[in-house]
A and B are shown apart, each in its own frame.
Chain A
Amino acid sequence: MAEQWAARLGGRVRRAFAQLGSVSWLLAQCVRAALRLQPEQLRVVLDMTRIQIRFTALDALPLCCLTATLLGGITLLQVFGQLSAYGVESYLSRVLAQLVIRELGPLMVGILVLSRSGTAMATEMASRKLSGELDALCASGVDPVQYLLLPRLLGGVISMFSLVIVFDAVALLGGFAVAWLQRPLSLPFFLHALGRAIGHRELAATFGKCLVFGLAIPLLCTAHGLRVKRSSTEIPQAVTRACVVSLGVLLLAGALLSVLIYA
């Protein structure tokens, strides 16, 4: 019984390492492909990156703003309520900055990008593979890593940065607006306190998380999409796996980065 359990556990660990290995290999391929880019190929890749940014960042702006406003408002109301009880409302900006900028912003945007674009990437890659498009690209002299993967990675990172900046700004200002409806607060004071609360570590946490999440989501989702072999019934399974694994990685990497930066 114990042996069976150990064997099952060992199998899972082995599979996890194999998966990590294949994703690392894909990342290495991307780096190599980026270094080999010729001028005209670079132009094509930049065109594709622009399209990716439009789909991942620009089209997600309304949803991002709505989520940020609601989340900022709710968070601020909760925090405000707690702080008011102790008469320390002046800490509002600091607590909010730490909560939104350090943790909530990158994580919520990561989940947003994963649910909107990550799933689309996994589905697209799986469909392209099954329909023979990837084969045709290779045979035509178009490196799929350069043409498909690289723009998604670049687009993912740039989109994450852009969306997190928008999310943080909207969450903080939206939160302030919601709080202001309850009790008139001074915007200059709020902004001044906010400016003092945002330090190097907050910026490092934001940039670190944006970079990691922006790379991890496209990489994991495309890797899972490319793993389909023969049947279209594999596509939903691949997308589900891509989502679950990516979400796990987001949470884990977010927690790890926070511990590294703030511990």
Chain B
Amino acid sequence: MPDPGPLLALEAVTLVSPEGRSVFRDLHWQLSRGARFHAQSGAGGGATALLRLCAGLAEPDAGRVLLDGVPLSAEGPLHPFLARGALGWVPSDGGLAANLTLLENVTLPLRFALGLGRHAAERAARTWLERAGLDQQLQERPAASDHRASWMTGLARAAAKGSRLWLVDRPLGGLDAAAALAAEAILDAAARDPEVTLVLVGGAWRSGLGRELSIGGGQVCSADVVPGLRPGTTWGSKGEHRERSEQAVPPFIADAP
């Protein structure tokens, strides 16, 4: 069987922020299928920008991004990988439609991308929202919910779709202990599938992360986390990073050509 190649490839990508600041310069980076990354960057360091590039939501100023071997482009129809609902996009604010309830926000992509009927989609959405601890808020709209609920809904949406690639940004305002546990449980469930690829920004959960990404200076560096030494929960209250493993091996440029 031919090698399907990396799931995601950034080729000579240069990204300049709207303020004119260079975020990435000639970046070459690949994400293998089934890879697990925990990305860290300072404020404005580019972690969120990297996620947006990977999701095709930011157009590079130079270079190109290949997702599943097909270039991502803002023009034209949806990228086939996105169109079949294989991307689990969880931005800081959850990325919800303001006019839909939390339940409808999860149901919509199941109907649209996966072609599930209304009732089947609602059942699946309900299941994952309950696992996210939102069973009392199913009919609330995002404006009536807090950031935690919105972000958890985004996570439930990614899980309900059976996403192959998860791009998860840190939740706005952090998570309380119960929500952090629920988030970990959802991520654990996703990580059981060896084909699932995960990139988490600003947080890690107790199991399953193989490598740590460090983003800064226009480049992406990765380091293997020593097996058995688990990064601490970092989506605690107010999103503060509590203890993280100090025993990661020194960073290196990931998959540079």
Residues of A within 8 A of B (CB): 29, 32-33, 36, 38-41, 43-44, 127-128, 131-133, 135-143, 146-147, 230
Q: Interface centre among A40, A136, A147, by most B CB within 10 Å?
A: A136
A-B contact pairs, 21 of them (CB 8 A): A36-B77, A38-B115, A40-B112, A40-B117, A41-B115, A44-B108, A131-B98, A135-B52, A136-B89, A138-B56, A139-B55, A139-B95, A140-B82, A140-B87, A140-B89, A140-B157, A141-B83, A141-B86, A142-B108, A142-B109, A147-B112
Beyond contacts A140-B85, A140-B95, A146-B112: 5 other A-B pairs, Cβ-Cβ < 8 A, are A29-B77, A40-B111, A40-B115, A44-B111, A136-B97
CA of A161 to CA of B169, assembled, Å: 46
Cβ contacts under 8 Å, A40 to chain B: 111-112, 115-117
Q: Taking each of A40, A43, A127, A133, which has the highest tally of chain B beta carbons within 10 Å of its own beta carbon?
A: A40
Hey, which bits of chain B sit against chain A, CB under 8 A?
Answer: 18, 52, 55-57, 76-78, 82-87, 89, 91, 93, 95-98, 108-109, 111-118, 154, 157, 161, 167
Return chain A residues, CB-CB under 8 Å to B78.
138, 141, 143
Q: Which residues of B contact A43 (CB under 8 A)?
A: 111, 118
Contact in complex: B57, A141 (CB < 8 Å) = no
By a CB distance below 8 angstroms, the chain A residues around B82 are 138-141
A181 to B157, CA, bound (A): 63
Q: Are A139 and B115 within 8 A (Cβ)? A: no
What B residues does A127 contact at CB under 8 A?
A: 98
| Interchain CA distance A132-B150 in the complex, whole Å | 13
Which B residue's beta carbon lies closest to that of A145?
B77
Interface of B is mostly: loop
The answer on a CB contact under 8 Å between A142 and B112 is: yes
Contacting residues, chain A, for B167 (C-beta < 8 A): 139
Neighbouring B residues of A139 by C-beta, 8 Å = 55-57, 82, 87, 89, 95, 167
- Chain A hits for B116, CB < 8 A: 40
Rounded to whole Å, the gap between the CB of B134 and the closest CB of chain A is 17
A140 and B115 form a contact (CB under 8 A): no
In whole angstroms, what is the CA distance A167 to B157 when docked? 44
Q: Is the CB of B96 within 8 A of A136?
A: yes
Is A140 within 8 A of B108, CB to CB?
yes
Among A41, A132, A141, the residue within 8 A (CB) of B91 is A132
The chain A residue with its CB closest to the CB of B114 is: A141
* A-B pairs, 4 with minimum CB distance: A141-B113, A136-B95, A139-B89, A141-B85
Rounded to whole Å, the gap between the CB of B97 and the closest CB of chain A is 5
CA distance A40 to B113 in the complex (A): 9
Whole-angstrom CA separation of A34 from B74 in the bound complex: 19
Specify which chain A residues have a CB less than 8 angstroms from the CB of B109 in the assembled complex: 140-142
Residues A41 and B112 in contact, CB atoms below 8 Å apart: yes
Docked pose: A90 CA to B89 CA in angstroms: 69
A148 to chain B: closest residue by CB: B97
Which residue from chain B places its CB closest to the CB of A47 in the assembled complex? Answer: B118
Name the A residues within 8 Å of B84 (CB-CB): 141
